[in-house]
Each structure stands twice: as C-alpha cells, then as structure tokens.
Amino acid sequence: MIVWEDAGSELMYYDMDSGRDSATVTPTFTLDTALFDAGESDRAKYWRQIGVELARADPAGVGEWSFELHYSTDGGAVWTPAGAATSVSAATASVKQSIAVTSNFLRVRLIATQVSGLPPFVMSVWAEYETLNESVRRRRWQFKIAAADKVVTRDAALDGRNGQEIRNQLWDLFTNVQTVTFRDVDYQTTLSERSVRIIGLREEWHKPADQQKIGAHATFDVTIVEL
C-alpha cells in the first residue's frame, strides 16, 4: 500500500495485503500524517475540511472497509473525531469531513477497519484551510462596543458584567482567535446567526488615567469577519 502525505515530501510504504489474501490482510490500521502547516508555520489557519483519496491501483477487487478521520491541533496529544465512519466498497473513493478549528498546525489520522475483502490504497491525505485575515470576499461588520458598568443590552436588560470584564473578554476573543456566534441588528426578522471572528480591535479610553478605577469606561472599535 502506497501512502502519499500531502503535507510534505515523505513517501511511505505499508504492506497491508499480505499476498492479496483477504483472510490474512491486516484487519485494521491507523495512519497519522506529519504536521500540515501549508508552508506557513508562523501563521494561524482556519481548517475547513480534511479528507483521504482512495483507489485500488491493481486488478484485485476491493472488499468493504470502514474509514474514520480524526484531527489534532497539538501535535497528536489529543485526537478529535471529525465525524462518523464512512463505508467504502468501490475501487476509487473520497472520504472527507468538515471541521472548524484554528491552529498553526494540523495532523490528520485515518483509521481503517476491515468488514470484508481487500482495502483500497490510500493515495493521499489532505487538509483544506484558509489563512486568517487573507483578502477574500466575506461579510464584515464594524461597530463600537462600550466597555462600561451597567450597560443596557438590546433586550433592554442590564448586562451583568462590569466594564473591565467586557474589556477582558473582547481582548481574549481577539488574542486567542476565537470563533463566536454573531446576531446582526435584523436578527428578530431574519433569525440568522453567523460564525465570526474579531480581526480588528481598537481600544480608546476617555480618561486614560482612570483605567484602573472601578467603573472606568472604555470604547472599542470592533471589526469582525464571517467565516
């Protein structure tokens, strides 16, 4: 079995067929990729999808096999299932799963389990990504947020957070490149929610000398982009 890792230039050979005898073929195997970084190890990426391309490259027939995809953003310490296992019984097939995770690196794990017969060859393992902040056509919003005590929300309720808590949460969302759910001003009409990230954050203090005082009031210019 020949496996090509799209992440680098390493070609690996796995003999799973044992002489093309489905009775003695390895009943399950796991393949872990090296780190995907898209050649930009210093940049955070939004990983959208992972997948594997399968094909039987000889005259032998393919039985039925189950393929699971997992991913890791910490070098393989923790693996997260990307979705349910996919059953494959054709000579060629693509198995793919949508994910939504941000990291500089990504590893992909493929777990194959025999149901019957011989497996297809694993031709490639890949990951689809988007570099954060790159110029693409996406919805963007710009608005101001008051980081102050006793802010009244859109529902006419009193926000239970104080100004410093609002400030800290905004900076955490920006610094950690977190995804949040955003409701626009027309939500009551459209009921539309969008996944967004903060890509611009500017903090302005009306009285800089009062920053450490309880109840100090700051204003943030916020720019968000839809993922």
Residues 11 and 109 grouped into a single domain: yes
Check residues 96 and 208 and name the one with the higher pLDDT: 96
pLDDT computed for residue 157 by the predictor: 79
Range of the domain at 162: 140-226
Residues 160 and 183 grouped into a single domain: yes
Check residues 130 and 132 and name the one with the higher pLDDT: 130
Please spell the DSSP secondary structure of 38-84, one letter per residue: TT-TTS-EEEEEEEEEEE--SSSPP-EEEEEEEEESSTTSS-EE-SS
Q: How confident is the prediction for the chain on average, in pLDDT?
A: 81
* Model pLDDT for residues 29-53, shown as the tens digit of each residue: 999 999 998 888 888 888 989 999 9
Q: Where is average pLDDT lowest: 16-25, 28-37, 82-91, 186-195?
A: 16-25
* Helix, strand, or coil (residue 184): coil
Residues 14 and 55 grouped into a single domain: yes
Residues 159 and 57 grouped into a single domain: no
Domain boundary among 69, 100, 131: 131
Residues 16 and 120 grouped into a single domain: yes
Residues 11 and 62 grouped into a single domain: yes
Domain of 101, CATH number, reads 2.60.120
The residue length of the chain stands at: 227
Residues 109 and 85 grouped into a single domain: yes
* Model pLDDT for residues 136-178, shown as the tens digit of each residue: 567 888 888 888 777 777 777 787 788 788 888 899 888 888 8
How far apart (Å, rounded) are the C-alpha atoms in residues 158 and 184? 19
Q: Which amino acid is residue 37, in one-letter code?
A: D
Please spell the DSSP secondary structure of 127-183, one letter per residue: EEEEETT------EEEEEEEE-TT-B-TTSPBPSS-HHHHHHHHHHHHHTT--EEEE
Residues 152 and 123 grouped into a single domain: no
Q: What is the pTM for the complete model shown? A: 0.55
pLDDT computed for residue 215 by the predictor: 52
Cβ-Cβ contacts under 8 Å for 188 (sequence gap 6 or more): none
Cβ-Cβ contacts under 8 Å for 45 (sequence gap 6 or more): 38, 102, 103, 104, 106, 129, 130, 131, 132
Question: Under a CB-based contact definition with an 8 Å cutoff, are residues 100 and 181 in contact?
Answer: no
Domain boundary among 86, 107, 131: 131
Residues 160 and 118 grouped into a single domain: no
Mean pLDDT over residues 81-110, rounded?
93
Check residues 76 and 150 and name the one with the higher pLDDT: 76
Residues 112 and 91 grouped into a single domain: yes
Residues 159 and 70 grouped into a single domain: no
Domain boundary among 95, 112, 131: 131
Total number of domains in the chain: 2
Residues 85 and 34 grouped into a single domain: yes
* Model pLDDT for residues 54-68, shown as the tens digit of each residue: 998 788 888 899 999
At residue 205 the predicted structure's pLDDT band, cuts being 50, 70 and 90, is confident
